[in-house]
Amino acid sequence: MFAQFQNLDEKLIELEGKLADPAVLANQADYGNVAREHARVSKLWQLYQEFRQAEEDLAENKELLLDENDEEMRELVKAEIAELSKKIVDLENSLRLMLLPRDPKDEKNTLLEIRAGTGGDEAALFVSDLFRMYSKYAEMQGWKVEVLSSNPIGIGGFKEIIGLISGKKVFSKLKFESGVHRVQRVPETETQGRIHTSAVTVAVIPEAEEVELNIDPNELRIDVFRSSGPGGQSVNTTDSAIRITHIPTGLVVTCQDEKSQHKNKAQALKVLRARLLDQMQQEQHDRISEERKSQIGSGDRSERIRTYNYPQGRMTDHRINLTLYKLDDILMGKLDNVIEPLIAHYQAETLKTLQ
């Protein structure tokens, strides 16, 4: 399995040469790609050295055990053998994980789209709760959150909100959040204390770069109109809101949060570009769905993935049968106990296909 590690020294030297290449230094995107690959190969090289050293130490201890007659010393050697055997298994698992096919989207910034589903105003309020949860998680990760578009209702919720989350490996952490999120709680307007069930949909879409998708301006219809807030009240007195329709696909994006028409247009194009690329990838996914039946995070937006039960303080992720009675902490952005098991499950399922 580790035959490919024999040439890691040469690979590191090659990458270090590229990092010092003026042509690579002059291109920020190329330099970033080379630097990330260098970091990955360096970690792989270090793990492999530890693995080889542990194997050598294990072989030496086994030989020592055969030659040793002192019972106390034999017990010490046996303990060392047990410790080294466990270390080798752990290092081998780490190396196997490093060999998993890398998702090129993992490094990307991410569009987070949350929309109210069944449940009326209660669903719209939960959209706000989820966006706050993801924003707090982003803050803990050192990421930046920018609201690109929102459709608020008068009582503090949103029919829809779209944000761009920027930072290190955003998509790798959030890519399993797409799907239907269900909430069970007693609405503030409920006078008899009955629990209502509402649902919202979450879509996590990697940000598309211009080089990945060429949009023909002739295929866009751009409408300009006056922004308005809840109840139709005017937000400003200029025609700054933008609606862009991609004619071939019928995709429509509206942005009105900024007072500048130019900024709204730029944000609408950013959302449109990401949605178009995501649509292309969804179509590709449908063509190879049989290949990925065993994997979570398939991208099916209609899949009910999680339930937030307020009366019991419980969150359940239905894909991996994970239940945590830490709902308050989760809603405050402490999502590591949710996201890490999902990533581990995905990695384990992928490893099975490689064995």
Tens of pLDDT along 56-66? Answer: 999 999 988 88
**Highest mean pLDDT: which of 69-78, 124-133, 154-163?**
124-133
pLDDT at position 228 is 63
pLDDT at position 314 is 96
* Two structure tokens written together for 339: 């996201």
Element (H, E) at 344: helix 336-354
HSE-up (13 A, CA, CB side) for residue 110: 26
pLDDT at position 210 is 55
Q: Distance between CA atoms of 35 and 30, rounded to whole angstroms? A: 9
For residue 246, pLDDT over 80 is answered with yes
pLDDT at position 93 is 78
Are the beta carbons of 189 and 125 closer than 8 angstroms?
A: no
Residue identified by tokens 């991609």 is 246
One-letter amino acid of 334? K
Q: Which residues make Cβ contacts (< 8 Å) with residue 71, sequence separation at least 6?
A: none
At residue 156 the predicted structure's pLDDT band, cuts being 50, 70 and 90, is confident
Residue identified by tokens 């019972």 is 71
- Provide mean pLDDT across the span 79-98: 86
Residue identified by tokens 């309020």 is 125
**Highest mean pLDDT: which of 206-210, 270-274, 282-286?**
270-274
Q: Distance between CA atoms of 162 and 156, rounded to whole angstroms? A: 16
Collapsing DSSP states into helix, strand and coil, what is residue 9?
Answer: helix
**Highest mean pLDDT: which of 54-68, 125-139, 145-159, 232-246?**
125-139
- For residue 220, give the nearest of 260, 240, 248, 201 by alpha carbon: 248
Single pTM value for the model: 0.66
pLDDT at position 234 is 45
Are the beta carbons of 41 and 15 closer than 8 angstroms?
A: yes
Collapsing DSSP states into helix, strand and coil, what is residue 114?
Answer: strand
* Two structure tokens written together for 295: 């994997």
For residue 299, pLDDT over 90 is answered with no
pLDDT at position 258 is 74
- For residue 163, give the nearest of 125, 123, 135, 191 by alpha carbon: 135
At residue 90 the predicted structure's pLDDT band, cuts being 50, 70 and 90, is confident
pLDDT at position 323 is 96
**Highest mean pLDDT: which of 42-51, 277-286, 301-310, 315-324?**
315-324
Are the beta carbons of 127 and 180 closer than 8 angstroms?
A: no
Element (H, E) at 13: helix 8-19
At residue 231 the predicted structure's pLDDT band, cuts being 50, 70 and 90, is very low
296 vs 23, more confident: 23
For residue 354, pLDDT over 80 is answered with no
**Highest mean pLDDT: which of 38-42, 121-125, 140-144?**
140-144
pLDDT at position 134 is 97
Q: Which residues make Cβ contacts (< 8 Å) with residue 55, sequence separation at least 6?
A: 88
At residue 77 the predicted structure's pLDDT band, cuts being 50, 70 and 90, is confident
At residue 300 the predicted structure's pLDDT band, cuts being 50, 70 and 90, is very low
